[in-house]
Structure 1
Amino acid sequence: MRLVTAAGADGLSVAELARSADLTRPTAHRLLTALRHEGLVDQDERSGRWMPGPELYLMGTVAASRYDITGIARDVVRSLAVRTEESAFLSVRRGDETVCLLREEGSFPIRSFVLSEGVRFPLGVASAGLAILAFLPPHDVDAYFERHPELGQRWGAAHAEPRLRTRLKETHERGFALNPGLIVEGSFGLGAAVFTREGHPQWALSLTGVQFRFGPDRLAELGRILLAHAHQLTTRVASAQR
């Protein structure tokens, strides 16, 4: 289901899904057929590609009242984009990943397209996930590294455990995360955690843009603006969860 929903409106073929899930094609088709029977996935009659089903929409509307903060976050994300002139985002933690929920374009004409709605990254990779991981309890961070020894191999040496732990410490001390072109060369990102009423880092605000826009003099100001917006949204979340 996660693979199907990640593909969005374009969908995926059964062969693509089987390959991504490391399943045989007959097994993948059998699982998809069962999910379709429950309305959780659907198949386009012309292309044969598999897409999210109508039951997911109904489930989502029920869960939204508890988990969806986009309604109270949209103007905060928009304000962040206006104030900084960079692209601004809201991401949410889902297990060991972050998922982008909102994107607002800044006014600067040259943009970075690393992130958009629905895009997932492992915690610690993009700036949003780095900010969230940095403020998790130490035992949760240790467990995360135990589950994902492949980070360095998959995402580059900067994401291997020793170097990533150093960046987590720096993020915690600074208050916001930096991603200096570690995913896409020439792109720069900042991220700040947004907390639940109980103090858990569940979301993150982030900024991305072309690297020359994030020089040392401007970086401090962008970080200050980002943290102020993250604090504003955290305060709203706490009020909404009462």
Structure 2
Amino acid sequence: MGKLGKSSVGESIIQFRADVRQAMNTIPVQGAQVVSRAASLLRLVGRKPEGCPLVELVRESGLTRPTAHRLLSSLAAEGLLDQDPGSGNWVLGPEILLLGSVASARFPLEDLARPSLRRLAEETGESAFFSIRRGNETVCLLREEGSFPVRSFVLHEGVRFPLGVASAGTAIMAFLPAQEQEELLANWPAHAGSFAAAHTAALVRANLEATRQAGYSVNPGLVLEGSWGMGAAVFDQRGRPAWALSLTGIEPRFREDRRAQLGRLLMEEAHRISTLLTHPPGA
């Protein structure tokens, strides 16, 4: 065999280094993709207390059935998910409860929001909710049932809506910087997904402006016909809308002559929580 020239050796070394870099870059990406897919499945399962069947998780996640089942089984093996023996639905597992209990100590939002929810439910008779912004979505965290016997079941703990959809998402989006609002509206059909048909970009723009003018949002049965909602944003220490209080109920309970009163109560409690977050007691 002949000797390799210096140029050949140099080229081989360069190629070897390139191959190593590619391998090093590929491994984390693959691992990150698995984590992302598993997290997506956890969020989908957590949207409803009764959990989700496999067919729905496959459809919503975009994963193939074998991939989804493999990830779900791995999550179940770690205690993060369970499969209900009766319905076959995948539901959140006991490890989620333990992790949530530990995390709640860092985020004492329930201690701050629960009194406001109780006051709203008691004074209005409607169901009151506290939602948080997560990325471009809102997630319902807390619920307090009102005394009125007929209720709307659109909103419950764990349910997610795109920003600009439902009363909490509208209340938050309305007070985001204009550039952030425009970025969402520019790609509205993709952002709103299945809600885009009832929530057109033009209608959402009008709702956002009305929310800024009034200080609270109104959802006139756009998510579910006959189920109305109203919301008010809660602001963090930087003055950004990060959470929202909302009330939901049937349409006759949200007539125009009552909406001003409900809006005032929502804004009062939202301001109360914002103040507690900005100036916590004893700080």
User: Out of 166, 181, 186, which is 2:221 matched to?
Assistant: 181
Q: Is 2:165–2:192's contact at 8 Å kept on the other side of the alignment?
A: no
CA shift for structure 1 position 133: 0.7
Count of paired positions: 241
Equivalent residue runs for 1:129-148 within 5 Å = 129-148=169-188
Secondary structure, aligned partner of 1:182: strand
CA shift for structure 1 position 176: 0.4
Q: Which residue of 2 aligns with 1:239?
A: 279
CA shift for structure 1 position 220: 1.4
Q: Which residue of 2 aligns with 1:82?
A: 122
The aligned amino acid for 2:250 is: V
Higher relative contact order (CA 8 A, sep 6+): 1
- The share of aligned pairs that are identical, in percent, is 53
Q: Is 1:210 equivalent to 2:210 in the alignment?
A: no
Q: Is 2:171–2:233's contact at 8 Å kept on the other side of the alignment?
A: yes
* Mean Cα deviation higher: 232-241 or 147-156: 147-156
Q: Is 1:53 equivalent to 2:87 in the alignment?
A: no
Structure-1 separation of matches of 2:101 and 2:78: 17
User: Out of 187, 196, 199, which is 2:236 matched to?
Assistant: 196
Q: Is 2:47–2:157's contact at 8 Å kept on the other side of the alignment?
A: no
User: Out of 93, 100, 103, which is 2:143 matched to?
Assistant: 103
The aligned amino acid for 1:138 is: A
The aligned amino acid for 2:226 is: G
The answer for unaligned runs of 5 or more in structure 1 is: none
CA shift for structure 1 position 63: 2.5
Structure-1 separation of matches of 2:233 and 2:113: 13
CA shift for structure 1 position 47: 5.9
Instruction: From the superposition, tell whether residues 58 and 11 of structure 1 become closer, same or farther in structure 2 (CA, over 3 Å).
Output: same
Instruction: From the superposition, tell whether residues 12 and 217 of structure 1 become closer, same or farther in structure 2 (CA, over 3 Å).
Output: closer
The answer for unaligned runs of 5 or more in structure 2 is: 1-41
Q: Which residue of 1 aligns with 2:45?
A: 4
Deviations 1:176-215 (A, max 9, x none): 0011121222222110001112212111111122222323
The aligned amino acid for 2:259 is: L
Structure-2 separation of matches of 1:68 and 1:92: 13
Secondary structure, aligned partner of 1:90: strand
Q: Is 1:23 equivalent to 2:69 in the alignment?
A: no
The aligned amino acid for 1:22 is: G
Structure-1 separation of matches of 2:207 and 2:56: 35
Instruction: From the superposition, tell whether residues 44 and 116 of structure 1 become closer, same or farther in structure 2 (CA, over 3 Å).
Output: closer
CA shift for structure 1 position 139: 1.9
Instruction: From the superposition, tell whether residues 79 and 146 of structure 1 become closer, same or farther in structure 2 (CA, over 3 Å).
Output: same
* Mean Cα deviation higher: 61-70 or 152-161: 152-161
TM-score w.r.t. the length of structure 1 is 0.87
Instruction: From the superposition, tell whether residues 41 and 146 of structure 1 become closer, same or farther in structure 2 (CA, over 3 Å).
Output: farther
Q: Which residue of 2 aligns with 1:71?
A: 111
Q: CA RMSD in A?
A: 2.4
Structure-1 separation of matches of 2:110 and 2:246: 14
Deviations 1:6-25 (A, max 9, x none): 243x3334333223212211
The aligned amino acid for 1:75 is: P
Structure-2 separation of matches of 1:23 and 1:157: 25
